[in-house]
Structure 1
Amino acid sequence: MIYRATAHMLEAALRLRAKAGGSDALRQRLALDAPGPADIWFHGASVGELTSARPIIETLARTHRVLVTANSLTGRDMAAGWGMEARLAPLDLPGALARFLAQVAPRLQVTVESEFWPLRSQALADRGIAQAVIGARLSQRSASRWARLPALIGQVLGRLAALSAQDPDSEARLRSLGLPDGAVLPPLDLKLLTPAGIPPSEPSKARDRVLLAASTHEGEEAHVLDAWQQARRHVPDLRLILAIRHPQRGDEVAGLLRHRRIAFQRRSEGGAGGDVLLADTLGEMDRWYRAAGLCFVGGSLTDRGGHTPWEPAAHGCAILHGPHVGNFRDAYAVLDQAGGAAGVDAASLPDHVIRLAGDPAQARRMGRAARQVLDDRAGDPAALIARLRELAGTPR
């Protein structure tokens, strides 16, 4: 009651502001500009959430009319760039929600990850619109906070027709807060759907002889070059693709190569081969992963938090990484345990490169193990997609 009363007062003030010349963004948040009708309303907070759900959104858009909303302009504009009808989401205010739902009239509303809005939930239920959450995640801290409002969160969760959690722990916390058993779908890590959808690269002798240093930062290239030069004494035809994280450092890294008197080609100048390729361009990482059987993932020898291991895993690369992987600690831990990746430091990197470059069979086993971990963790979205289509009904 307090929440609803406060929302009414806030909405009245915002409408006065919009009439006095408020921004287009405010008009969209108040649903004063009418969107078209849609079968499914997809909502994600911003770029990260919508990017992770893109495979699901695009699959459903093949059969149903989809409207995508975000809380941020960057998220909205990104979805529009996919060819989707996209808008800023209505605020959790009674009038804005009423106008928006009257205009869009969706049969299904899908939220990505974990936004729980009490008035939105009630407004959807009042109109008989099915509600679903995909990629739901809930930390123990957030669960403890919601547990102080059991009636409120219990009603919101109780109205859900379907929920797929990002991980088993989140699912357990949501169940404890009132998620009905009948709404639970198998866990699905949305962020892994895109890499899991990449066809694995076929092993080959050519890939066996390529070391990729992916997304390296300042202070890492010298260690990679040390490892490659030492490995060449044992595997003379070992090639190196040096794909630096920031292409603007291309001149700097080219100077390092010249200082060491290493012959190289530069991708920004049209190079595509040679013993060493300095990949100082954007948008071609998929090409380099396909070319290499052995991959060192940068940002991990120096303390940058590391970069994602899932793209090299998608291509079946044997993965090496440094000790600084805080951004993906759990991912590297499970890959290391499964034998798909190995941790190194500057001193041990040459030994690992020598061992794997000299034993292609072992490198290929690591690559297969990495890909298997990715497939297992990503899950199969088929059951989720089928359930969402069922809830959305016959397309308009």
Structure 2
Amino acid sequence: MFFYRLLARILFSAYALRLRLGGRGEAYAERIGRVPRDKKTDPLLWLHAASNGELTSARTVIETLQTRAPALRLLITTNSDTARALARDWGLNAVLAPLDMQGPVHRFLDATRPAALVVVENELWPERLTACAARGIPVFVIGARMSATSARNWARFPGLARRVMESIGYLSAQDTASDARFRVLGLAPDRIGPVANLKSAARAKPTEATLPFPRWATLLAASTHEGEEEIVLAAFARAHAENPELRLILAPRHPRRRDQVERLIAATGLASATRSRGGIPGPDTVIYHADTMGEMDLWYAAAGMTFVGGSVVDKGGHTPFEPAAHGTAILHGPHTTNSAPAYDALHASGASVEVRNSEDLSAAILRLADPDAQMALARKASDALAGLSADSGLAPFYTDLARAMDLPDIAG
């Protein structure tokens, strides 16, 4: 831990200094662990989700905990301002996570006194986890992901890896490959629960489409990344030239890129409106720039077909479970490693369409601009992914968490 702490102190201190000199007082205070002292005595659950994707994947878990244990108090920490804002939009108590140094971590723990920590996916910060274990705070990791590259990196520091693995009381991996890698790194078998991909627990939130677009003619480009909007817009413009009834909802992964994305949209010459600017789409609007957080359910409800972002550019691809839950036909690029088992199941059933460039995507849009074709593909996707549900796999987690926090059994 000595060398890790030395490196962390250098890097994180520089980061904290930039926050302070940049006038970001709230972010600076939260990052160094200066959060309001919790004076309540009933147990607090600390749940950490790094960014929007991890937080969204944990939403069903959060809602399940709130339903089954309504007296439970939750504190959410994130690494990004947008994820913190999203959690607050859901009505949750949320702050930025303490930097992984002794001072910030212990300051945070002294102030909040959590009864347990739940870590979502792959945020295995050594200082944070070992400090919790030293204080007798049980650590749960759910939907844990460990890539082959990450496993090799951890293996280079066996002492550090051993201490981190010993700090984890319960871990549920999101796939069998990750499960095996955690075992190789030394996580005791009796601390490993069933494989459970959190994203597979996605459920469609009750909502009504509010856009004046026909669903069968509407494509949602969900969680696109830099370099991907150009491909989507070129494909859509080409398809729209052949079928003027087509409409596009463009929902970039990072709303802070609004100005850049607006310039790309303007270059198409098609009529558009931007959500964050109060733009209201009308009958002549062709592209709706949906650049706000926490409203993806609205866009899924409005779209008969969805292109899943992060898959044409190499970002590993976002989850197909959300579009499948909303009954929308799924299109995606070749980069799908983040949810490989799910995409493998889709491929095996012919339940999604893979595209590699704007020409492929344009052709797929035109081919799927038909309600019967969309319904058939969406039904195949739902059937293909049904066997990957996380609900049963998470039951031991809920049971162990209830026991650790002295709650009634919340396994359901």
TM-score (norm 1): 0.70
Q: For this pair of structures, how many residues does the alignment match?
A: 358
Query: 2:384 aligned with 1:391, yes or no?
Result: no
Give identity over the alignment, percent: 34
Specify the SS of the correspondent of 1:79.
helix
Query: Shift in Å at residue 178 of structure 1?
Result: 1.2
Specify the SS of the correspondent of 1:219.
helix
What is the aligned-residue RMSD (CA, Å)? 4.6
Query: Does 139-148 or 303-312 show the bigger shift?
Result: 303-312
Take 1:333 and 1:308, find their aligned partners in 2: how far apart are those partners? Answer: 12
Query: 2:30 aligned with 1:44, yes or no?
Result: no
Structure 2 counterpart of 1:235:
none
Query: 2:231 aligned with 1:224, yes or no?
Result: no
Among 307, 314, 319, which residue is 2:325 paired with?
A: 314
Query: Is residue 199–residue 322 contact of structure 2 (8 Å, CA) maintained in 1?
Result: no
Deviations 1:93-145 (A, max 9, x none): 33443333233222211112223333333322232211111121111122112
Query: Is residue 29–residue 90 contact of structure 1 (8 Å, CA) maintained in 2?
Result: yes
Query: Does 95-104 or 20-29 show the bigger shift?
Result: 20-29
Deviations 1:9-39 (A, max 9, x none): 879x89xx89x99955444333344431552
Structure 1 counterpart of 2:185:
177
Query: Is residue 301–residue 326 contact of structure 2 (8 Å, CA) maintained in 1?
Result: yes
Structure 2 counterpart of 1:369:
380
Query: Shift in Å at residue 171 of structure 1?
Result: 0.9
Query: Shift in Å at residue 90 of structure 1?
Result: 2.9
Among 279, 302, 307, which residue is 1:297 paired with?
A: 307
Query: Does 296-305 or 330-339 show the bigger shift?
Result: 296-305
Question: Which of these two proteins has the greater Rg computed from alpha carbons?
Answer: 1
Among 140, 144, 148, which residue is 1:140 paired with?
A: 148
Name the amino acid aligned to 2:220. A
Deviations 1:269-320 (A, max 9, x none): 6646xxx973525377645644665x26387999798876544322323445
Query: Shift in Å at residue 53 of structure 1?
Result: 1.9
Name the amino acid aligned to 1:376. G
**Structure 2, unpaired ranges of 5+:** 209-213, 222-228, 252-260, 273-277
TM alignment of 1:1-396, pairs within 5 A? 2-3=2-3, 6=6, 23-36=25-38, 38-61=43-66, 62-194=70-202, 196-198=203-205, 210-215=216-221, 217-225=232-240, 228=243, 240-244=246-250, 271=282, 278=286, 280=288, 282=290, 286=297, 289-290=300-301, 295=305, 297=307, 309-320=320-331, 324-326=333-335, 330=340, 332=343, 334-343=345-354, 346=359, 357=370, 360=372, 364-380=375-391, 382-383=394-395, 384-394=397-407
Deviations 1:153-179 (A, max 9, x none): 223213322111122111110011111
Deviations 1:74-107 (A, max 9, x none): 4434333332222333333334433332332222
Specify the SS of the correspondent of 2:346.
helix
Deviations 1:28-57 (A, max 9, x none): 333344431552111233333333223323
Take 1:8 and 1:218, find their aligned partners in 2: how far apart are those partners? Answer: 41
**Structure 1, unpaired ranges of 5+:** 202-206, 230-238, 258-266
Query: Is residue 46–residue 75 contact of structure 2 (8 Å, CA) maintained in 1?
Result: yes
Go from structure 1 to structure 2 and tell me whether the alpha carbon gap of 1:373 and 1:3 turns closer, same or farther (over 3 Å shift). same
Go from structure 1 to structure 2 and tell me whether the alpha carbon gap of 1:301 and 1:311 turns closer, same or farther (over 3 Å shift). closer
Specify the SS of the correspondent of 1:114.
coil
Structure 2 counterpart of 1:232:
none
Take 1:339 and 1:80, find their aligned partners in 2: how far apart are those partners? Answer: 39
Query: Shift in Å at residue 254 of structure 1?
Result: 6.8
Query: Is residue 76–residue 88 contact of structure 1 (8 Å, CA) maintained in 2?
Result: yes
Go from structure 1 to structure 2 and tell me whether the alpha carbon gap of 1:286 and 1:156 turns closer, same or farther (over 3 Å shift). closer
